[in-house]
Amino acid sequence: MDNPAERAIVRLMFDADVVIAGGALTGASLALALAKGGARVVVVDRLPAGAQVSPDFDGRAYALALASQRLFRALGVWEAVAEQAQPILHVKTGDGRPGEGPLGGFLHLDHGEIDEGPMGYMIEDRHLRPALMAALAQAEGVTVLAGEEIVAQEVHPGNVAVTLGSGRVLRGALLAGADGRGSPTARRAGIARRDSDYGQTALTCAVAHELPHGGVAHQFFMPSGPLAILPLPGKRSSIVWSERRERAEELAKADDEAFLAALRPVFGDFLGEIRLEGVRFAYPLNLTVAERIVAERVALVGDAAQGIHPIAGQGLNQGLRDVATLAEVVTEARRRGEDCGSSLVLERHRAWRSFDRTALTLATDGFNRLFSNDNPLLRAARDLGVSAVAALPDVRRRFIREAAGLTGDLPRLLQGKAL
Amino acid sequence: MAVDTADPAELAKFEAIAAEWWDPEGKFKPLHMLNPCRLDYICDQIAAEFDRDRAGTEPFSGLRVLDIGCGGGLLSEPMARLGARVVGADAAAGNIPVARVHAEQSGLDIDYRHTTAEALAEAGEQFDVVLNMEVVEHVASPPDYIQACQRLLKPGGLMICSTINRNPKSFAMAIVGAEWVMRWLPKGTHDWKKFITPDELYDLLRGAGLEPVDKKGFVFNPLGWSWSLSDRDLSVNYVTASVKPE
């Protein structure tokens, strides 16, 4: 009765525990985190090997919350970039009006008020990305298929199969979609998205300035949108300047001299003379939220789950919270022998992320709408609210911890602990 | 056993039943809810007894594990994933092809057999670990059954045995609650008179020549809708670990 040769079906061979669609920052971080936990991972990335990485400074930088920095430390990536990172020691927010520049700080968050250290770190893309890719290349249990695209995914009982453009089929227990705002993984899984447009575009660039920034991150709320000035190593800062769409498009097209002439009055002169460094980028600001972050044998992380307004640099930080949560849930499941792609396991990920996700998208959305409005009533309400925060040390500490990403039920990696 | 999995119609039927077994919202929902908790217990006990690192790769490799009353394979599959060589035994013939189909879909190699603990013992089979979960309250003669389980263990082997306590609370929870009110289990699944107290189980285990080393309660938390282990509350579902002396 037990002769295997008589059976009509053959035991399936798995290529991986988890197949990850997308090998950019969140996809690579997820692969590393899962591999640290002992999983076998295949990363499928559309770009050819090395295409993501360029050694020249192009102006892109991330404001990593302290929790995100701890995750990179736990993944063994931080050491390689620590010297290039600029600690964020203070956050100052202020009001501003066009032509008048910043009107001065009315909320000051100082890392000295909490014990954990800096609220976060500024790190340039040209340092973080190669460090992550190098760690990935060395990680045991990770296979990267670069220059390959997933063209189909099919869910079966017990497994998920993805077909690559080359015709190759990969089978695993779980498919993780780390494939960005328009996530084909989400689309193929039948997950709808809700998109909202802010009618704003963020212009990003880096500037060199005369005076030292002292590790201060500034956020000025102009009626047309917020301006963030974030400290980079040396006398340089990264700028995220949000403007109404039409105006921003004009500025994006303008030459450097004209751009700088427009930036100067908004930026003010508190850091002395400024000049442009690297490349300028323009990103239309919209919020895209997947209606669900899990489907059968599919989990979404990063922008595929929620592409949020880059105000306060929360996009990558939020993506890394997805990564830390999914990696912990999958690792725990694997260590008790559970099927890590089963709906029971994915439900744990969904439940853990749901509060954070709702709170953040609402907060970021509301925050920006509130702060980029010149309506006098809103201005008054806002000033009142912010002075209340400024006056109460406990509330202020709570804000500082929030900015550092230290609030909520934190996954182990965000506490800097191994899985 | 007249099971021919080469017949496509039969195969489709088994796949459908397997899907039922493995649907966390389906009729085996209570087992799926309990599973993470009992797996944690089982894994901790095996790791402690055989000095394995649960964080390692395939930590249970080299161990031969018997899952008695394997059903659709809810415990056999995790054990196989953790590297053990697993025999899944069930007295209900219909469960075997179902469990087999699912293991194959999940890329796992598990030896499922339509047999009983007594028959396996008779054949001289021996295991490092015997999983005896939610079975003893259903058998005709618990002493004979536990004796057979003891014979199935290698010297130094580990048996995990879980069952349901006998008291008014367990009657309320396991029969009134789970069968009558929640309809988690078919009515008549359990006969309250056959439930066993921890002391009685310890006596049975010792009587068969096993040495009980641990007991814990499985406690249902209706707020979190989940189960957890308890050192003190063994009033309804509970689990024991015992070893066969070398």
Range of the domain at B125: 8-243
Residue B185 one-letter amino acid:
L
Q: Specify the DSSP element, H or E, that contains A249.
A: helix A245-253
Predicted complex ipTM: 0.89
- Tell me the C-alpha to C-alpha distance, in Å, between residue A122 and each of A64, A87, A231, B58: 6, 6, 7, 40
Chain B residue closest in CA terms to A174:
B106
Nearest C-alpha in A relative to B111:
A2
Is pLDDT of A9 > 60? no
**Segment A150-178 mean pLDDT:** 96
Look up tokens 């300047």; give the residue: A241
For residues A414 and A184, the model is more confident at: A184
With respect to residue B2, please indicate whether it lies within any of the assigned structural domains.
no
Q: How high is the pLDDT of residue A211? A: 95
Average pLDDT score over residue span A6-11: 47
Which residues of B fall within a CB distance of 8 Å from A342?
22, 24
Residue A320 contacts residue A68 (beta carbons within 8 Å): yes
Number of domains in chain A: 1
The verdict on residue A10 lying in a domain is no
Q: Does A7 touch chain B (CB under 8 A)?
A: yes
Between chain A and chain B, the number of residue pairs with CB atoms below 8 A apart is 88
Q: What is the pLDDT of residues A146-159, one digit of tens each?
A: 999 999 999 998 99
Res. A241: pLDDT tops 50: yes
pTM, 2 dp: 0.88
Smallest Cβ distance to B6: which of A7, A158, A333? Answer: A7
CB contact residues (below 8 A), chain A span 309-348, against chain B: 333-339, 342-344
Tell me the chain B residues in contact with residue A9 when contact means C-beta distances shorter than 8 Å: 5, 11, 101, 104
- The one-digit pLDDT tens for each residue of chain B (246 residues) are 334 334 667 767 777 787 888 888 887 888 888 999 999 999 999 999 999 999 998 999 999 999 999 999 999 999 999 999 999 999 988 899 989 999 998 999 999 999 999 999 999 999 999 999 989 988 889 999 999 999 999 999 999 999 999 888 877 777 766 766 666 666 777 777 788 999 999 999 999 999 999 999 999 887 777 899 999 999 889 999 999 999
Look at residue A102 in the predicted model and tell me its pLDDT: 54
Yes or no, beta carbons of B113 and A2 under 8 Å apart = yes
CA–CA distance, B161 with B142 (Å, rounded to integer): 12
Asked whether residue A5 is assigned to any structural domain, the reply reads no
d(CA B15, CA A177): 28
Q: How far apart are CA B15 and CA A157, in angstroms?
A: 9
User: Is residue A205 one of the residues assigned to a domain?
Assistant: yes
pLDDT at A342 over 80: yes
**Mean of all residue pLDDT scores within chain A:** 84
> What is the b/e burial string over A75-100, where b = at least 16 CB atoms within 10 angstroms of the residue's CB?
bebbebbeebbbbbbbbbbbbbeeee
Residue A269's pLDDT band (cuts 50, 70, 90): confident
Tokens of B76: 């056999």
Q: How is the beta sheet containing A294-295 ordered, strand by strand?
A: A142-146, A41-45, A18-21, A174-177, A298-300, A294-295
Q: Is A8 inside a domain boundary?
A: no
Q: Name, in order, each residue with C-beta under 8 angstroms of A330's C-beta and a sequence gap of 6 or more.
A: A17, A18, A34, A37, A39, A174, A340, A345, A349
Q: CA-nearest residue of chain A to B45?
A: A336
CA distance B159 to chain A (A): 18
Residue B219: inside a domain: yes
Distance CA A174, CA A216 (A): 42
Give a yes or no: residue A141 inside a domain.
yes
Read off the pLDDT band of A408 (50, 70, 90).
confident
Domain containing residue B171: CATH number: 3.40.50.150
Indicate yes or no: CB of A2 within 8 angstroms of CB of B35.
no
Lowest mean pLDDT segment, chosen from A172-176, A309-313, B93-97: A309-313
Determine whether the interchain pair B102/A343 forms a contact, defined as Cβ–Cβ distance below 8 Å.
no
Contacts of B7 in chain A (CB under 8 A): 8
In this predicted structure, the answer to whether residue A193 has a pLDDT above a threshold of 60 is yes
Closest-CA residue of A relative to B107 is A12
The residue among B17, B101, B104, B223 with the most chain A CBs within 10 A of its CB, best to mutate, is B104
Of the partner residues B54, B102, B108, the one whose CB lies closest to the CB of residue A335: B54
Q: How do residues A59-74 score in pLDDT, each as one tens digit?
A: 678 889 899 999 999 9
CA neighbor of A259 nearest in space, from A280, A229, A245, A242: A280
Interface of chain B against chain A, CB under 8 Å? Answer: 1, 3-8, 11, 15, 18-19, 22, 24, 32, 35-36, 39-40, 43, 54-57, 77-82, 100-109, 111, 113-114
Confidence tier at A4 by pLDDT (50, 70, 90)? very low
Most B CBs within 10 Å, among A329, A335, A343, to test the B interface? A335
Residue A1 lies in a domain: no
For residues A152-181, give the mean pLDDT: 96
Q: Report the percentage of chain A scoring pLDDT > 90.
A: 50
Which residues, listed in sequence order, are joined to residue A143 by a DSSP beta bridge? A42
Which pLDDT does position A98 carry in this prediction? Answer: 54
Q: Which residues of B touch A2 (CB under 8 A)?
A: 111, 113
Q: What is the pLDDT of residue B127?
A: 98
Confidence at residue B41, expressed as pLDDT on a 0 to 100 scale: 97
B35: its two tokens: 């599973």
Is B18's CB within 8 Å of A157's CB?
yes
User: B-chain residues within 8 Å CB-CB of A1?
Assistant: 1, 3, 114
Decide if A158 touches B, using CB distance below 8 A. yes
- The verdict on A159 touching B (C-beta cutoff 8 Å) is yes
pLDDT, mean of residues A197-216? 90
B5 closest CB neighbour out of A7, A37, A171: A7
- Dihedral of CA A285/A287/A288/A293: which sign? positive
- Over the stretch A243-254, which tens digit does the pLDDT of each residue have? 889 999 999 999
Mean pLDDT of the region A6-16: 65
pLDDT score recorded for residue A220: 79
pLDDT, position A365: 59
The whole-number average pLDDT for the span A137-144 is 95
Do A335 and B32 lie within an 8 Å CB cutoff? no
Domain membership of residue A347 (yes or no) is yes
What does the pLDDT read at residue B6? Answer: 47
pLDDT at B168: 81
Radius of gyration of chain A (CA): 22
| Residues A12, B100: Cα–Cα separation, whole Å | 12
- pLDDT reported for residue A112: 72
SS3 content of chain A, % helix, strand, coil (to 5): 40, 30, 30
Interchain proximity B36–A339, CB inside 8 Å: no
User: What contacts B166, CB < 8 A, 6 or more positions away?
Assistant: B192, B193, B195, B196, B197
Query: Any residues with CB less than 8 A from the CB of B197 and at least 6 apart, and which?
Result: B165, B166, B167
Q: With an 8 Å Cβ cutoff, are B77 and A157 in contact? A: no
Dist. CA B174–CA B236, nearest whole Å: 7
Question: Residue A5 pLDDT > 50, yes or no?
Answer: no
Say yes or no for a CB contact (<8 Å) between A335 and B57: no
* Segment A7-22 mean pLDDT: 79
Restricting to A residues 18-57, those with a Cβ less than 8 Å away from any Cβ of B are 37-38
* Domain around A255: 18-415
Pick from A2, A11, A333: CB nearest B107: A11
Per CB-CB distance under 8 Å, the chain A contacts of B120 are none
- Best probe of the B interface among A6, A9, A171, by most B CBs < 10 A, is A9
Nearest chain A residue to B78 by CA: give it.
A337
Q: Is residue B1 part of a domain?
A: no
pLDDT of residue A97: 59
Q: Is residue A2 part of a domain?
A: no
pLDDT > 70? residue A196: yes
Residues A18-34: tens digit of each pLDDT: 999 999 999 999 999 99
pLDDT of residue A3: 41
A1 and B3: CB-CB below 8 Å? yes
Our count of domains for chain B comes to: 1
CATH number where A280 lies: 3.50.50.60
Partner-chain contact A7 B18, CB within 8 Å: no
